[in-house]
Every structure is written in C-alpha cells, then in structure tokens.
Chain A
Amino acid sequence: MQPRDLYTKVEDFLSDESFQRWVRFKENHTHWEEWTLESPERAKLVAEARVWVLSMKIEETELSAQEIQRSLQDTWEAIQTQQVQKPIWKMSWFRVAAAVLLVGTAAMTYFLVQKNPAQAVITYKDLVEKDTEGLIEQTNNSNKPQLITLADASSVLLQPKSKLSYPKEFSGNERKVYLSGEAFFEISKNPSKPFYVYANEVVTKVYGTSFRVIAYPSLPNVEVLVRTGKVKVMPNEEIEADTKEGIMLLPNQAARFVRNNLSFEKILDITQDKPLIASTNTIEQLSFEFRDIPVEQIFTTIEQAYLVKIEYPKEKLKDCYMTTSLSDEPLPEKLKIICESLGSDTRYEMNGNQVTIISSGCN
C-alpha cells in the first residue's frame, strides 16, 4: 500500500512530486502507467490530473551560475556599505532586556551529596567543566555588587562571594553562563540566540523578558520569579526531575524547585509568598521609568543601581530633562538610549566601572 493508493482528488495528484515528474518528463513511466491501469476510477482521476498539470505550465527564466555569482557579489558589497552606515544603536530596536537574579552557595550542595548520595546534585564545578568553550571566570571577593558586561551587551551584577563563568564571545546558537552565588542579570534580547543561566540543577531560559531567579544551593529550593513576559525554567537534563519540559512562567508567577525530591511547584502569585518578596536588591527597587526628570538624576539612579561612576559635562547638561522608560534594558542599552535622546553628538564610553558621557548639551 502506498500513499497514492489513497488519492481521491485531483489535488492529491497535483501535490505529488513524482506524479508531476511523470506527466512532464515521463519519469517512472511504466510504473505509473501500470499503477493507473489497476482500476478504471483511478484511470479517470489520473487522466484529469494529467490535464491539470499540462495546462498549468510556467515559463521561467533561469539565471546562469555566472549571473548568480555576480548577484551574490553585489549583495555582499551592499552589505558592506550598509554595515558602515548603520550605527549600533539602531539595532537597539531588537533589544529587550531580561533580568535574572540567581542566588546560591556551595555549602548545601555538599550537604545534599552527603545526605542523598543517590540523587543527582549538580555543582557549579560540574557545569563549568562540561563546557568546552574557553570560559572567563569572575569572582566577587569584595563586599559590593560587581558589574560585568557580557559580549552581547547584557549586564550582570555579581553579588559578593559569587562566581560567574561566561565565554568571551557567544558563538553558536546559544548563550550560556554559569553561576555560583547570586547575580542579577539583564539580558539583551536575541530571539535566535536564547540565553541560558545554569545554576546547580536548574536551567533558566530567557525569552527576552524581565524576571528574577533565586537559586539558593545552600537551601533546599531554587526559585524563579517573573516580572514581565515569559520565562522557561527547566531541570538540567542530567537529572531525573518530575518534569522534563520544565515550566513556563508568566508575570507575577514563580517556580520553586525542591532539590531533595527534584520536583517543581508553581506559585501563581509571588506577592503572596514571603520568602520570595523578602530578597530584593537595590537595582530591583529602583524605578527606571523617568517622567520629565533631570538627566543628572537619571545618572545618579544608574550609579546606584550598577555601582558605576558616571562623569558628564554638568554645566552643559544641567537643563536637560528626559521622559523615558529604561526598565529591563541592560546598562549599555540604557546609556545608548539616554545619549540618543540627548542629541546626535552625545555618546558614552565605558571602561570597567567608569562611564564617561561626551556631550555638547541637549537639543
């Protein structure tokens, strides 16, 4: 029995590549002919379908291989020209930031290994060792959060006693980072390159939204909170959790992963959950919705949030007011948007924790 034995309509034949080939080029001629003759109804249908194919011919011109190459070359040249013309901030339309907060320490991991040797426990060390890309590791031994800017212009605020491993460049189709401790992430949106935060047994996939993940390896739970948009939380594929697919979270929802029985529970309203609301940090409490605010004050807010120092021409910018929404944008994006609104000759430079604004005033 073949699929074509079930054909009942002319359309079925028209969609069949090999049928078209038979009618147009006599391919598989004997084969189709014999099959057709097996039943009179079939023969009738085939005859009709054949008329359809013959009366639907398309006259097409084909470019030669040479012409195709010339056209390809023109296209690359056009790409070169346009790349030069297009400033980076124009790409910012495609960016929406995502924020993640992850918390964890190593102590409980050890405890869990001791207590439940049969269960899968994944440590930061395991995760980093598995990654074959050359990773950069940053450890925060200070007592203040530390700002890291990733290759894709995402911002990470690494909390004290925490470690983050990340590649210098994000090659391939994914962006992956590994965390031990606590960090607040603001991820630049790139739908074709999802961003993954690996923290112990939990993997958080960012869809370009705003959310918070609290992964306390020192405590029995890992938690993920969503502020806006959509986030996917799933177990690391190495462990046998109660769900393989993970769960999708919407705003004001959270997921709690219980480490000792490897199960997820969904929290439908985070404001009703005390442990979750207790742990917010400075950047999350600050509002980045500005309404007719002096740019000076916006810079102060950014300095507080990211623990950076911003230098700018105070006199020239003293009368500049701004209305803008910078929530969920990573720091480079926030700075770009501000510079863009101030005027075309305004730009910024960032060197570690030092930001310099170069401007001749606002327009």
Chain B
Amino acid sequence: MPLPQKNTEIISDLKLWNQLIADDKAAFSALFEKYLNPLVNYGKTLMPSHEKVKDCVQDVFVDIWLYRHSLSDEVVVKAYLFSSVRKRIARLYERDRIFRQTTPLEDLEFSLKFSIEHSMINDETLELEVRQLNQLLNTLPPRQKETLYLRYHQGLSLEQIAEVLEINHQSVKNLLHRAILHLRKEWKGSISLLLIGGYLAL
C-alpha cells in the first residue's frame, strides 16, 4: 500500500514529467513503471475488470506521450494520473451505456471493500473494535469511501483529491469530515482503556 506522498517525491515526479515533455523516453518509462501498479489498483476500485483497467491506464500513458508538448509543466503528477484514469474509466462506462444500453451511471462508483489487517491483531477486544469499525467503513457512501482511500491509502492531499474527483476543495474536506464524524458517532464500542493494553501487547 502506497503511503502519503512526500514533497521530495512530488518534486522528483515533476522532474521526470518535464523530461518527458522534452521528449525523454526513459523518463516516460520511469513514470510508467512507478505508477502502473497504483493506477491499476485505483482503477479496479471503479471497474472490476483487471484487463480493461490496465488498458485504460495504458491509454492514459499513450495520450500523455502523444500530446506531451501540450501538457502543463506545473502539475502534481500523481494527482494528474489518477484523475486521467478516472476520466478514462468514466468515458468507457459512458460508451457502454450508449452502445450496449446498460443502465446509466450517475457517477463512477467506488466499489472497494476495506478489509482487516488481521496479522496485527492478537487481542479479542481489539479485534471486536476493528471489526465494528470495518463494517461501518464499508457502509459509507462510495464517494466518502473513495475520499478516505485517496487520502489515507494513496496519500493525496485535499487539493489533489479535489482534482481527481473534480469537486472543490471544501467539498473534499466536508466529505472526509462527514465520513469520520459519522463513523465516530456510529461506532458504539467506544474506545476503552482496555485498548491500551491492546497495543502494548504488540
């Protein structure tokens, strides 16, 4: 699981990006190799077919190379890539809707299920707590889940999430805030002091 992106990484991505714009094939390949996995994993939260998702990601990179001379040199590469993959998948759904007359999709639906990190749980109380929270997490509206995923798993900032989801910065803040607030409220099993024992037992 990729963790929050550091500034140095954003800068080194941007360096590769600018080399790519200046026709450097090695820089293109480096970005491809680095982001194929995260992008495919993200795409799969929106569309179940692994092969189709991979095609979408490849198409995004094809366009990047073909239109590299019209790309902005001031982007957060990671957010740009995530956003492009999302749009690509949305377009594919739209095409399916028109040609195969499947049901229209209001918006892409984030369909990922959060699972439990069992390997790190060796305490019954903790296990109970985790299971409760995990269930609640999976009942969140897809948009809220996606925001949590992008923030805490892909390490995108609020601004970057706003770019990917094409909503404004404040809405992202609200989505996150609402999700966490809701979970807290519902999460009846309040954290008891017992849990401190839980982590000490690590």
Hey, which bits of chain A sit against chain B, CB under 8 A? 10-11, 14-17, 20-21, 23-24, 26, 29, 33, 36, 43-44, 46-48, 50-63, 68, 71-72, 74-75, 78-79, 82-83, 86, 91, 94, 171-173, 189-193
State which of B36, B72, B117, B131 has its C-beta within 8 Å of the C-beta of A63: B36
Name the prevailing secondary structure of the A interface residues: helix
Contact B152 A14 (CB under 8 A): yes
Chain A residue nearest to B135 in the complex (CB): A55
**With A61-B41, A71-B36, A78-B62 given, is the CB distance from A47 to B195 under 8 Å?**
yes
A51/B196 in contact, CB under 8 A: no
How many pairs of residues, A versus B, come closer than 8 Å at their CB atoms?
A: 155
Contact yes or no, A94 B70, CB < 8 A:
yes
Are A54 and B117 in contact, CB atoms less than 8 angstroms apart?
yes
A86 touches B66 (CB 8 A): yes
Contact A83 B66 (CB under 8 A): yes
**B1 / chain A contacts, CB cutoff of 8 Å:** 24, 57-58, 60
Residues of A within 8 A of B66 (CB): 79, 82-83, 86
Return the chain A residue nearest B3 by Cβ. Answer: A17
- Residue interface bits B114-155, CB-to-A below 8 A is 1, else 0: 111100110000100111011001000000000011011101
CB distance from A26 to the nearest CB of B (A): 7
A44 B4 Cβ-Cβ under 8 A: no
- Contact B120–A47 (Cβ < 8 Å): no
Q: Given A47-B199, A56-B114, A72-B32, decide whether A78 and B73 contact each other with a Cβ distance below 8 A.
A: no
Chain B residue at minimum C-beta to C-beta distance from A60? B41
A11 and B37: CB pair below 8 A? Answer: no
Q: Does B175 contact A (CB under 8 A)?
A: no
Alpha-carbon separation in the docked complex, A78 to B61 (Å): 10
Contact of B18 among A16, A54, A86, A173 (CB under 8 A): A173
Q: How far is the CB of B39 from chain A (nearest CB, A)?
A: 10
State whether A192 touches B36 (Cβ < 8 A).
no
> Pick the contact of B180 from A10, A24, A191 — CB < 8 Å?
A10
Nearest residue, chain B, Cβ from A51: B129
Q: Using Cβ atoms and an 8 Å threshold, which residues of chain B touch A68?
A: 32-33, 36-37
Interface membership of chain B positions 30-69, coded 1 if the CB is closer than 8 angstroms to chain A and 0 otherwise? 0011001100110010000010001001110110011111
Is B41 a contact of A11 with CB atoms below 8 Å?
A: no
Which residues of B sit under 8 angstroms from A173, Cβ to Cβ? 18, 21-22, 73
Selected contact of B151 from candidates A15, A53, A83, A94, CB within 8 Å: A15
Contacts of B62 in A (CB 8 A): 75, 78-79, 82
User: What residues of chain A lie closer than 8 Å to B199, measured between beta carbons?
Assistant: 33, 36, 46-47, 50
Q: Give the residue of A44, A79, A191 whose beta carbon is less than 8 angstroms from that of B65.
A: A79
- Check A15–B4 contact: CB distance below 8 A: yes
Give chain A nearest CB distance to B17 CB in angstroms.
Answer: 9
- Chain A positions within 8 Å of B59 at CB level: 78
| Residue pair B32, A75 in contact (C-beta under 8 Å) | yes
The interface residues of chain A lying within 8 Å CB-to-CB of B202 are 26, 29, 33
Given A33-B200, A36-B199, A47-B198, A71-B54 contact (CB < 8 Å):
yes
Tell whether B76 is near chain A: CB-to-CB under 8 Å. Answer: no
